[in-house]
Amino acid sequence: MTIAENMMSRSRPFTGRGKGLCRALAVALLVSTPLGLQAKPDDSKVYEPVAPTIDQARANILIARQLQFTHFRDLGISDELSGDVFSAYLEYLDGQRIYLTQQDIQRFDRVKSQLGSALKTGQLQPGFDIYNLVQQRIIERLQFALKTLDQGLENLDFSANETILLDRSEADWEPDQAALDNLWIRRIKNAVLAQRLNGTEDDQIEESLRQRYEGQLKRAYQARSEDAFQAYMNAFTGMWDPHTSYFSPRTSENFNINMSLSLEGIGAVLQSDNEFTKVVRLVPGGPASKQGQLQPADRIVGVGQEGKKPVNVIGWRLDEVVDLIRGPRDSTVTLEVIPANASDETVTKTIAIKRDEVKLEEQSASKDVIELERGGEDYKVGVITIPTFYADFQAMQAGDPNYKSTTRDVRKLIGELQEDGVDGLVVDLRNNGGGALHEANDLVGLFIDKGPTVQIRNANNDVQVLNDEDPSVAYDGPLVVLVNRMSASASEIFAGAIQDYGRGLVVGSQTFGKGTVQAVRPLNHGQLKITQSKFYRVSGGSTQHKGVIPDIEIPSRVDKTRIGEDALDHALPWDQIEAVPHTRYFDFSGIIGELRKRHESRFDTNPEFKLLQREIEFLEKQRQLETVSLNFDERKAQHEQIERTRLTIANARRELRGEEPFDSLEALEDWQDAQAADLDTTDEELDFVIREGGHIMADMLELDQQMASILQRRHFAVQAPAQ
């Protein structure tokens, strides 16, 4: 990091061809307008505009070439693309439209259609000038907020019938500074109101908000050339697809550490989300995953070290937040987060996580057994849970015959379950975000004689087919595969193959839809992660965008509008290619209708499923809220209603388990904190979705004696269409 930063500091600003355009934009953008309550920065602090370097300009040219000639998507750099880059860049810099006005946006009209041609040739100054203006506006807004706090919280009126829009990403830009002033006063009132409703005293509220705004202001003054370059390049690369991105030298270092899984931390993959740091996914077996409270799409707003209050990190650079979260093994980090299902951005919770190293063995597959009694008949169903597709590459390369891998571990577990005399097998891939591709290929091979498992098409339309060449089968009995929205990539390859082969039923919710393959390519300055190929099922359909659609669906708490490939901008579309010849072991079409009918009948009377539906309806109602009231009495009533509902749902779940109800939300939260702090606490009872997988298995065995054809290895061939 230090070497890279030293190199950047020695690099000279780029002032190559196109200086006329750059100067014109600089003049147009850097003329600031006086602001109502706070007109100018402190005399002691002056924002120093950042400028591009020669190294960055060269990297930009290399990136443009790679995108045009090696990316899977055939997309040229055009005037239309210029406008899209401009919009994406503004979304990154001011996604909630709280810093810039319509007057500022109009100043960009003359250059926004020319960004593409400038990016082709390494002319970075237009993007840097936009960045510098936004930084100036951020400084002005934060100074306005601090000036408002100086006037005292008692001067804020909470009796008026005012509201504030929760998500401004699609809102109109405020017309001028006066309108923006009004918006910021409402934002401050919203923040104050939320803390008052949580019982915080005004002096503590003022201190908290002042620390937040002063911290953001400090970072705005400390803007670096690399911040502008990375933001601009990612707005550019994101036009091709959301998984293509530029890594600065510092971000490259963090990426490489993350991929090695050797870092002592909390085991969470993070990304920037406007001024917030968002949780993308949790590493299976990592401290955050085991602790259980942090969830994908949560946004981190504060980070505290052991025994200290969290530091507000809104507006911080991602690498700075990552550094703050990292720390020595067995130490505790406290995260203040906005939950993914929060009613608004002022609702937060605090999570304490003990740092540790993510170990391969803690991501290993595990087994369990469900015993069911149905109409006098007993069934024993094996369950294998696979958190990720892993392999100990170092041991493999060293020639260790006993190296660990998903396929090896699952084969062993299957043998143990068969010795127990199980009647069927449930493979649980929920929350499995993928991993080693060859492990997905090999795992399919445990359940089929031999044949293709997945197709991979590159940008030249060349198709590679991965095959299971091993005719041996570890398990040939009835099979159910559980998936959910967080099942991605290699999980989708396995589930899709099992479905295409008619080898088993897929149960759960629509998977993530991550059907692309990326490669990381070095640049003269940083790295480019670029999408180079796409996955297709043996039946020809892509797993991209659509994912795998379950044969039997179980609703999920996850908000599909926020999590999943189809929720990402510029995601590559679903399409299909020719199928490849493959075996079809069983045709479920004759019994799937009755299987669904039985499943729905069970769930209609299942108290746990009814509770899940109630939770989903509650969360959906919260998500549909577009505004919140700034009137204290109205907001208090809404807050109390939400708390009552949360407590009612939690107590209903405790009642199902024969446990004493909580008498208050505070008691519930204290219990959750105590449970999360004890990493050895586990729920011995398998969750009801796994049990339902077992019931579906029993249905399959009861319904149709054709299932015996699986056990007897009878199958028929499915040929690819004639060419």
351 forms bridges with which residues in the sheet? 335
Place of tokens 């005037």: 79
Contacts of 89 (CB under 8 A, 6+ apart): 127, 130, 231, 232, 235
Counting Cβ atoms within 10 Å, is residue 542 exposed (0-12), middle (13-18) or buried (19+)?
buried
Length of the chain: 723
Residues 6+ apart with CB under 8 A from 534: 72, 456, 457, 515, 516, 517, 542, 544, 572
- Whole-angstrom distance, CA of residue 194 vs CA of residue 210: 16
Q: Are 129 and 47 in contact (CB under 8 A)?
A: no
Encode 61-84: b = buried (16+ Cβ within 10 Å), e = exposed: bbbbebbeebbbbeeebeeebbeb
R_g of the chain computed on alpha carbons: 28
Looking from the CA of 669 toward its CB, the CA atoms found within 13 Å total: 10
Contact status, residue 195 vs residue 205, Cβ threshold 8 Å: yes
402: left (phi over 0), alpha (psi -120 to 50) or beta: alpha
> E strands within 293-376?
299-305, 311-312, 332-338, 349-354, 356-357, 366-374
Nearest CA to 503 among 332, 351, 258, 710? 710
Which one is catalytic: 514, 539, 542, 699? 514
Which three-class secondary structure state does DSSP give residue 189?
Answer: helix
Residue with tokens 């509650």: 618
Catalytic-role residue among 55, 500, 551, 699: 500
Cβ neighbours, 10 Å, residue 415: 12
Find the catalytic residue in 225, 489, 491, 509: 489
Which CA distances in Å does 60 have to 5, 63, 235, 424, 550? 18, 5, 12, 55, 42
CA distance 147 to 41: 12
Helix (H) / strand (E) containing 494: helix 490-500
The DSSP 8-state label assigned to residue 585 in this structure reads -
Residue 500 known to be catalytic:
yes
Q: Nearest-CA neighbor of 99 among 144, 62, 64, 44?
A: 144
> What separation in angstroms does the CA of 148 have from each of 33, 46, 142?
19, 21, 10
Structure tokens at 403: 């190296």
Spatial distance between the Cα atoms of 565 and 486, rounded to a whole number of angstroms:
10
Q: Are 658 and 337 in contact (CB under 8 A)?
A: no
Number of helices followed by number of strands (H, E) in the chain: 24, 23
The residue to which tokens 């997309």 are assigned: 75
Q: Residue 508: what residue type?
A: G
Cβ neighbors of 714 (< 8 A, separation 6 or more) are none
Nearest CA to 101 out of 165, 40, 176 is that of 176
The residues assigned a catalytic role are 489, 500, 514
